[in-house]
Structure 1
Amino acid sequence: MGELVVREKGNWKDFLHPVLAGLISVIVNYGGTFVLVFQAAKVAGLSPELTASWVWAVSIGVGITGLALSWYYREPIITAWSTPAAAFLVVALGQVAYSEAIGAYLISAAAFVILGVSGCFDRIIKLIPSSIASALLAGILLQFGIKAFAGISLDPSLACLLIVVYLVFKRLNARYAIVAILSLGCVYLIFAQRLDLSQLKLGLAVPVFTAPTFSLNAVLSVAVPLFLITLTGQYMPGILVLRNDGFNTNASPIVSVTGVGSFLMAPFGSHAFNIAAITAAICTGKEAHENPRKRWIAGVAAGIFYILVGLFGVTLAALFMALPATFITTLAGLALLGTIGSSLTNALTESSSREAALITFLASAANIQLFNISGAFWGLLIGLLAHMLLNGRFSYRLTKQPS
């Protein structure tokens, strides 16, 4: 999978599904989590120009790194901004000066470059059993599957329409199920007049450079938590998503490239970007393309869409955010059903590790939040501990002593 392929022939159908998978992943990312960036910018008191620069930096950075990595390795290496880190910054940016936050971003990015170049990340990932990795992924994605159907309580007409269209096309032509719900869902929203686009105006974003400053407070309160949250909440599950779908590219180049990209974009406002986890699963599974060797197109397409959003700053981000929440959650959940199912199957196949995998799945689905560290980390930690205790070898034995 990691070999560089110079040229691959195919018809337009080989491009349609992965391109749409890339588009859906971008829509889900902006529509589902990008509001956290705007909230953090508001807490920091950033001007509209600095906010637009943040959007530009993180979108362009994500787009270029994801496009380049997917093209070079011919694998769907989807990059994204760190969502748990953005949630953390909603609180943290109110406690440090913006220039100090920029300095903290640089330190965190440099740490990821060192981690990638040293090869330590690859060695850590290889220690995780495949059943535990699959269970972790299934647990992380479970909430998205649940939200696909929870939308029926909030917006019955829209959620039911998307679900019914999905099931009908799964029966008639499974390959076009996701295409159908995206297309028909947008048509429904337009005719139902549920998209208010009157305030949208196209305008190119202008990056604004902010000179970094450094302080011990910013290092301890922003840089260190930012590094740990991004490592445990994004990089680790993101690499496991690739492994789960059979892609074995070394993690080190991915960590290094995204770390360098984050470092270069930090002075323009980008907090951190990395390999994606949840939105990556939309592009790495069978829903993107039956042939794994064609799924890299989804990574390139997602990169191009991210770059387009970045060029137009907050305009297109606001467009995606204008989509109803039920549309976003149902679309994401249905697109991830196949991945959730295959992950559960892989996790529970081996009887010897089934209970540890089940514990990992439930602990990850619980989304435990402790010490500002994401639920993915705690789910993985609990799962590995369960696997060690249930399946590890212990030299201690109880022996009956002679009386």
Structure 2
Amino acid sequence: MFQPAGAGIVAAITGFASSFVLVIAGLRAVGASDAEAASGLLALCLLVGVTCIALPWYFRMPISFAWSTPGAALLVAAGQTTKDFGAAAGAFLVCGVLIALCGLWPALGRLITSIPKPIASAMLAGILFPICIAPVTATVQQPLLAVPVVLVWLVLFRLARRWAVPAAMLVAIVGIVLTAGTGWLTAASSAPQLVFVPPVFDPVVIVSLGLPLFIVTMAGQNVPGFVVLSTFGYRAPPRPILVASGLATAAGSVFGAHGVNLAAITAALMASPDAHPDRSKRWIATVTSGVTYLLLGLAAGFAAALVSASPPILIEAVAGLALLGAFVTSITGALEDATHVITAAATFIVTASGVVILGIGSAFWGLVVGAVFLAWLGWRRSGPALSA
């Protein structure tokens, strides 16, 4: 009992500490105020907690959920396309409805998850690239703050990889306190509250943000999540999982939450023998992680105040370190098929460029360019497409 519970607690703390700054930074990038960003993080913690408790308890499987980390990175990249957080909330809601439809209408799920891997991976890599270079920029612009963060991350990445990003975040917090003082802690001391954000359905923002968010969440989180479960011998039912995560995303959107989906990296901590030698007892780890997420939601106000008080480049640097592994995986997946290297490269370059055309951001145009290149150069399926 103690072993799976401990694994669940570690997984939740690791998942939260590794990416909460990216979530806050992403929400603020698309127009959220400090209170709305804190509300979004609180809603995510509550929804992740509830889904991590309900579904594993019912199915007796370590089905774990998390917020969309690639989606948060997309918000940072899409900041120049909208500053209307209501429009962003509308895009989040549309994303949630589409995820739920993938569960109710399997043909849609197969269509999205069969997007050629070079395009899907290259688009995700293009979204992550500007954030992953932030540690380099930060060491030049804020060397006294950024260099210790990078060094601690590098040392622990070699000795205790799981704790590298949380430790780097802790060093960043110390640096922020030393430079910004403790005045921001006054705002952080107040209990976080859910703030209603009336959704605005702006077609441009839906195309620029909602559709790419849906695609990266499905391809970057849900599909790997199913793969992790199957790797450890669990045949998780796609319909209830996708419907639950889609409805959770839709419900959270009106409180500023951007996306709930299957966990991928932390899922391995709870579905593997490290959680418990007996496969039938590993679901306890995910339930415990859900309870832990509910408690971590109390830190949402602190997280928003911290990000508000820190130099933006420092927060992006920590986020870049957290996303480096995801970037490597994405760029490797994009370029592993030599037949479609040019298509992948074109998708990556357009997405990473950050161009905005007709008010629509570069993630969408990266997909369009990738599809055009693929159609013109010819598509020969030399490897399996993304599938659940």
TM-superposed CA distance for 1:28, in Å, is: 2.1
C-alpha contact 1:158 1:327 (8 A) present in aligned 2: yes
Is 1:163 the counterpart of 2:156 in the alignment? no
Are 1:29 and 2:8 matched, yes or no? no
Q: CA deviation at 1:24?
A: 2.1
Amino acid at match of 1:124: L
Cα distance in structure 2, aligned partners of 1:27 and 1:70: 27
Find out whether 1:341 has 2:328 as its counterpart.
yes
Which piece of structure 1 moves more, 63-72 or 332-341? 63-72
Structure 1 position 292, deviation (Å): 10
From 311, 315, 318, the counterpart of 2:305: 318
Q: 2:255 aligns with which of 267, 270, 293?
A: 270
Change (3 A) 1:275 1:233: farther
Give the structure 1 partner of residue 341 of structure 2: 354
Contact 1:128 1:384 in 2 (8 A): no
Query: Within 1, Cα distance between the matches of 2:80 and 2:205?
Result: 10
Q: How far is 1:369 from its partner?
A: 2.2
Structure 1 unaligned regions, length at least 5: 1-6, 43-47, 95-100, 213-217, 394-403
Match of residue 181, structure 1, among 165, 168, 171:
168
Contact (CA 8 Å) 2:5, 2:288: kept in 1 or not?
Answer: no
Deviation (angstroms), 1:129 = 1.8
Say if 1:24 and 1:55 are closer, same or farther in 2 by CA, change over 3 A: closer
Q: How many residues align?
A: 359
Change (3 A) 1:353 1:107: closer
1:236 is aligned to 2:223:
no
State the shift of 1:141 in Å: 0.7
Q: CA deviation at 1:338?
A: 1.8
The residue that corresponds to 2:83 in the other structure is: 90
Match of 2:317, as an amino acid? Answer: T
Matched letter for residue 155 of structure 1 = Q
Work out whether residues 100 and 242 of structure 2, in 8 Å CA contact, stay in contact via their aligned partners in 1.
Answer: yes
Distance 1:258 1:290 in 2: 19
- Alpha-carbon contact 1:195-1:323 (below 8 Å) kept: no
1:208-223 aligned at under 5 Å gives the runs: 222=201
CA deviation profile, 1:336-369 (whole Å, cap 9, x unmatched): 2222122222221221122212222212212332
Cross-structure match for 2:129: 142
SS of structure 2 residue aligned to 1:340: helix
> Measured at CA, do residues 70 and 185 of structure 1 come closer, stay the same or move farther in structure 2, by a change above 3 Å?
farther
Structure 1 residue 376: deviation in Å? Answer: 2.0
Mark the CA change 1:326 to 1:240 in structure 2 (over 3 Å): closer, same or farther: same
The structural deviation recorded for 1:185 is: 3.1
Q: Map of 1:195-206 to 2, 5 A cutoff?
A: 195-200=182-187, 202-204=189-191
Structure 2 residue 324 is the aligned partner of structure 1 residue 331? no
Which letter does structure 2 place at the counterpart of 1:235?
A: F
More helix by share: 2
Residues 289 and 133 of structure 1: is their aligned pair in 2 closer, same or farther, counting only changes over 3 Å? farther
> What are the residue-to-residue correspondences of 1:44-59 with 2, within 5 Å?
none
Q: Is the 8 A contact 1:113 1:256 kept in 2?
A: yes
Deviation of 1:130 (Å): 2.1
RMSD between aligned alpha carbons? 4.8
TM-score, normalised with respect to structure 2? 0.69
| Structure 2 residue 64 is matched with structure 1 residue 79 | no
Query: Which residue identity lines up with residue 78 of structure 1 in the other structure?
Result: A
Q: CA 1:169–1:238 in structure 2 vs 1: closer, same or farther (change >3 Å)?
A: same
Q: Tell me the equivalent position of 2:384.
A: none
User: How far did 1:223 drift?
Assistant: 5.7
Larger radius of gyration: 1
CA shift in 2, pair 1:151/1:369, >3 Å: same
- Within-5 A mapping of 1:242-257: 242=221, 243=223, 246-247=227-228, 253=240, 256-257=243-244
Cα displacement (A) at 1:236:
0.5
Which amino acid in the other structure matches residue 28 of structure 1?
L
CA distance in 2, matches of 1:363, 1:104: 22
TM-score (norm 1): 0.67
